[in-house]
Amino acid sequence: MTNVFFRPWVGENYKSTGFNGKHILVLGESCFCGECPGCATDGHNDWWEEEEWQRCRDLIPDVVTDFLAYKNGDPKNWSMRSYRRFTDVFMGRKCTPEETQAFWNSFVLYNYVQTSLEGPRISPSQEEWATGEKPFFEVLAEYTPDVIIAWGRRLWNNMPAGFRLDDSFQNRWGDGLRYYNNGKRDIPVYACYHPSTPAFSSEDTDYFKRLLEKVSEVSK
């Protein structure tokens, strides 16, 4: 994955069992790694201590590891709060730390935009969105998920259009599934509201459940 800067979190059971036999790629939007503009775009050079640069690249797995170590996540931390909500809504109940850990060890989490933004939770520019496409397809080639769950309407609107649409399964705002091909298979993409927003709610639980049923049909 030569174009990927921010390495994904890869659950230890992703490849073997996944989540009940489904291999799920959860897709977030972007990363903000602090006062280090250029860490992603300039590559490793004299400006960067190797260790510091590698730490930027491991931002996603490091945040997830911290989240799981905190048991229920630090509620003051925006990422951890989003992770917590996603877990409980996806599973349809308030999960124990053990259940949370098992869930996160079943899937891959990757963030689409491959350059660090200038601040947390700001909207990526067109140039920043453009950094995502090539690495994204490398991640798909590497992990061949059965389904992608994209977090947020803004991300959804800025991802590649896909080569096929499937309106037989619609998300909460009425968009169907989109398909990408990674050279091995067609991969459906479903978009949910971002777990940090109030729109993401217990209503989503049933959508996730039906999505996995739909994925079983598609992959037959």
Cα-Cα end-to-end distance for the chain:
29
Minimal distance in Å, beta carbon 158 to Zn ion? Answer: 21
Tokens of 202: 């217990």
Among 13, 22, 32, 36, binds Zn ion (CB under 5 A): 36
Minimal distance in Å, beta carbon 60 to Zn ion? Answer: 12
Binding mask 44-83 for Zn ion (x = CB under 5 A): ------------x---------------------------
DSSP for 92-112 reads TS---HHHHHHHHTTSEEEES
Taking the C-alpha atoms of residue 5 and residue 20, their distance in angstroms, rounded to an integer, is 30
Binding mask 92-131 for Zn ion (x = CB under 5 A): ------------------------x---------------
Closer by beta carbon to Zn ion, 15 or else 121: 121
Among 39, 89, 139, 191, binds Zn ion (CB under 5 A): 39
**Which DSSP symbol is given to 149?**
E
By three-state DSSP, how is residue 13 classified? Answer: coil
Closer by beta carbon to Zn ion, 33 or else 147: 33
Minimal distance in Å, beta carbon 32 to Zn ion? Answer: 9
Taking the C-alpha atoms of residue 150 and residue 159, their distance in angstroms, rounded to an integer, is 9
Q: What is the β-pairing status of strands 24-28 and 147-151? A: parallel
Residues that bind Zn ion (CB under 5 A): 33, 36, 39, 56, 116
